[in-house]
Chain A
Amino acid sequence: MSEPVLQTKGIEKSFFGVQVLKGIDFEVRRGEIMGLVGENGAGKSTLMKIITGLYTNDGGTILFEGNPVVFPDPSKARDVGISIIHQEFNLFSQLSVAENIFLDRKDYRNRYGIVDWKKMYGDAERILRELGADLDVRTLVRQLSVREQQLVEIAKAVSANAKVLIMDEPSAALPDNEVQKMFHVVRMLKDRGVAIVYISHRMKEIEEICDRVSVLRDGRNEGVVEMSKGKVDDVISMMIGREISDYYPHSRRSFGQVVLRVEGVSGQGLEETSLEIKSGEVVGLYGLAGSGTTDFAEIVMGLSRRSAGKVFYKEAEVKRDSIKAAMSAGIAYVPPDRRKEGIIVMMDITQNTVMANLRAYEKAGVLQNKKIYEKVEEHVENLQIKCAGQSQQVLRLSGGNQQKVVLAKWLDRNPGLLILNEPTRGVDVGAKSEIYRMIDKLANEGLGILMISSEVPEVLGVSDRVVVMCRGRVTGEYVNEGIGQDVLLKAASSNAGGEENE
């Protein structure tokens, strides 16, 4: 077996005193496709950012072709042969395909700094042709489809003579029928001897394309699996690892009337989806990135346009596509991106908490500060928000406490239905279990809860019923009694009943 091109030994990294990488060993060989899997927060992307020089590690070494290396920034890593393609592409939309591949490279300008367009276009065409891409290298990148943009990223790596190519969730933004085309390109690079690190949540893809898989859990190595048929179950169990029952409180309770009924709703990223939630019920909505779970929540909440279908809240139709209509009906939504959508970091706990319910505190148009103070104190107490006082800026709270503030904001409206989208993302373990307890408690109090998550153990631990989505459709629905994790993973990477042919 050949020597590894890229190897890490004992990589450690902490953020704000929380250790996220606890001594990671990782390697990838020439001409190998190495999968890298783990739950959200397991440390995959942190590790890759350290390798490419976006973060500096606290401990451990990176070896490239046997020599220790440290890169000040990703462009230096690229220069020696380590390229990374992020989920969000690093492209200039206003520049042409060829320029995006060769911008600022010495070989493409003469000593007066004049660009050698002929050579640039010629080489770009050659590289893209080798990748099997039929692209006009003169088009501006903003006019390309997502797959074509990905090809430009790959071409960029190839042009830099990449010996290692790291791909972070490369299929997330691709339409179904284009994933195979991407695989084709990846295999071609492998045959040329490029070492490929393939990060993905989609087990089906991992099974299909990877030679070996490294599993990370909670910032530690969990092991490396040589892939062959049937090995994917090992990977899944290594990923999840822990005993589920201790971690997730789950009371037995009876459900009440239907609080939310969604009938055949379509819209951006969503096709004819139907769903029902009863009061006191926790429904887990599971799906991978791009599966349409967030689109579903945003359409129900009136944040994005609904092109067809009906939404009922307790038998009354929620007609208008507006968040106000959804809010006044009694629906609440905790969005997935806390810092961009959930809270306003520059404002304090008080303001964030009452933001969605300001009218309730008005008397003749004037805010009743005393009433606000008392109510917010109540929330701080009930949700155990750890802070120096409610006038503290939310910026200075930990992730878990910030999430509790978002929760407080919506509970303040006394909703009948609570939609939680990735409620434990970027939250430490302690706060996670507090949030799970909170969900259980709220359901016992009679709220209907829809919890969207891309973490299987969480979904299975918290939900009464699990709905799985893939590519904008519901692909499975299960009562949560002894369903296997593999069932959910398979449903989440299925093709909605073989609708592949267009």
Chain B
Amino acid sequence: MRKFLADYIKKDGNRNVVLLIVYLVIQTAAFSILLPNFMTVSNFQNLMRQSAELGMVSIPLAIVLMTGNIDLSIGSVMGVCAISMARMLRAGLPIPAAVLFTVCIGALAGSLNGFCVAKLHLDGLVATIGTQVMLRGFCYILTGGRSVSGLPSEFTRVSKMYVLGVPISFLLMLAIFAVAIFVMQKTRIGIQVHAVGYNARASRFSGIEADKIKFRLFVMSGCVAAIASMFMLMRFASAESEFANGYDTDTLVAILLGGINIAGGSGNMLGAFLGLITVAILKNGLNHIGMTATYQQFIVGLLIVISAVRLPKKRD
């Protein structure tokens, strides 16, 4: 067992997983001792609802990072999707049709990113900063500056639905995570994604079509952002122009904490999941203590730096 653990830690990307588990246990224990309201059913339901959407979008982003890319436009994609959805519902479109259209909008936004990165070969960072600003602009156009509310209750009600006390959105997030873990571990896509991230040239020389993979990942990212935005819309029951603004950084933070290397290749989905849970619990606990969002970000910021430090290896 000790040897297994030692080997596991040595494997690239797992160091953070182990550290995170330890940290997570300490953090949870500390909160439950210090905060009387922390270990309650209603708090956990809240926590799960809040982390569900973040969790969903962090899944494709984690994989995008593994290929050595980045997507900073997720928040804006979510904004456009949620506002479109809200307007469609207000216009009286049946819910299933609105859902379908919203996912299509997400896919379209994702393919715009994919086109810039995989076809025009732009730097992912540069391209998605561009789409981030542009799509946020669309958010303003779509809302006309007013908040879109008055959504049908059949729709908003979904956020209050539970299965065995667990919010539906959280279950869906777990399901997507499970699928992603399965795909990354059990299908060829997993190996190909890591290969592209570690060494794009060598993977091309093995017949792996990196551009195709990248394009599809961005489209996927757009679709998942669309789904996540709907759940967020249910929770808030209204959408305004700044909907989900800054979500891309929050997502990135959770994933980086999980030990996924921004340079591509290493890292795994379990790490991303743990990173997400850690951030969610941390923010929730700090909320109970009465810390504002800025305080929370301060602590999260410190955690990122600590988790990203790579001491130089000795050169041969």
Contacts and interface: CB of A to CB of B under 8 A. Distances in A.
> Is there a contact between chains A and B in the complex with CB atoms less than 8 Å apart?
yes
B202 interface: yes
Interface stretch (A239-247, A348-356, A432-440): A348-356
Interface string B195-213: 1001101111111110000
B35 interface: no
A140 B232 CA distance: 53
Contacts of A333: 205
Interface string A405-429: 0000100000000000000000000
B187 interface: yes
B192 interface: yes
Interface stretch (A71-79, A152-160, A362-370): A362-370
A42 interface: no
A351 B201 CA distance: 16
Contact of A343 (B202, B204, B207, B209): B202
Contact of A362 (B187, B207, B266, B316): B187
A354 B316 CA distance: 30
Contact of A355 (B201, B208, B316): B208
B202 A359 contact: no
B207 A354 contact: no
Contacts of B203: 344, 355
A341 B202 contact: yes
Interface string A261-286: 00000000000000000000000000
B158 to A, nearest CB: 31
B198 A323 contact: no
B259 interface: no
A72 B12 CA distance: 33
Contacts of A340: 199, 201-202
Nearest to A409: B206
A367 B191 CA distance: 10
A167 B187 CA distance: 50
B214 interface: no
Interface centre among B204, B207, B208, B316 (most CB of A within 10 A): B207
B187 A366 contact: yes
B266 A355 contact: no
A69 interface: no
B188 A358 contact: yes
Nearest to A350: B191
Nearest to A356: B206
B265 interface: yes
Nearest to A302: B207
Q: Contact residue range for chain A?
A: 20 to 34
B202 A303 contact: no
B207 A356 contact: yes
Contact of B186 (A303, A355, A359, A366): A366
B207 A327 contact: yes
A433 B90 CA distance: 76
B12 to A, nearest CB: 6
A361 B186 CA distance: 11
A361 B192 CA distance: 14
Contacts of A344: 194-195, 198-199, 202-203
A335 B191 contact: no
Interface centre among B186, B194, B202 (most CB of A within 10 A): B202
A463 to B, nearest CB: 24
Given A343-B202, A344-B195, A323 B188 contact: no
A15 interface: yes
Interface string A369-412: 10000000000000000000000000000000000000001000
A457 B201 CA distance: 30
A323 B207 contact: yes
Given A344-B199, A347-B198, A367-B186, A323 B205 contact: yes
A362 B188 contact: yes
B316 A342 contact: no
A361 B187 CA distance: 9
Nearest to A343: B202
Contacts of B266: 346
A346 B196 CA distance: 12
Contact of A354 (B186, B187, B191, B198): B191
A319 interface: no
Given A341-B202, A344-B199, 6 more contacts: A303-B205, A346-B198, A347-B195, A358-B188, A367-B188, A409-B206
19 contacts: A323-B204, A323-B205, A324-B207, A341-B201, A342-B202, A343-B202, A344-B194, A344-B198, A344-B199, A344-B203, A345-B199, A346-B198, A355-B203, A356-B207, A358-B188, A361-B188, A362-B188, A367-B186, A367-B188
Interface of A: 15-16, 303, 323-324, 327, 333, 335, 340-347, 351, 354-356, 358-359, 361-362, 365-367, 369, 409
Q: What 8 A-B pairs are tightest by C-beta distance, nearest first?
A: A358-B188, A356-B206, A355-B206, A344-B199, A341-B205, A346-B198, A344-B198, A327-B207
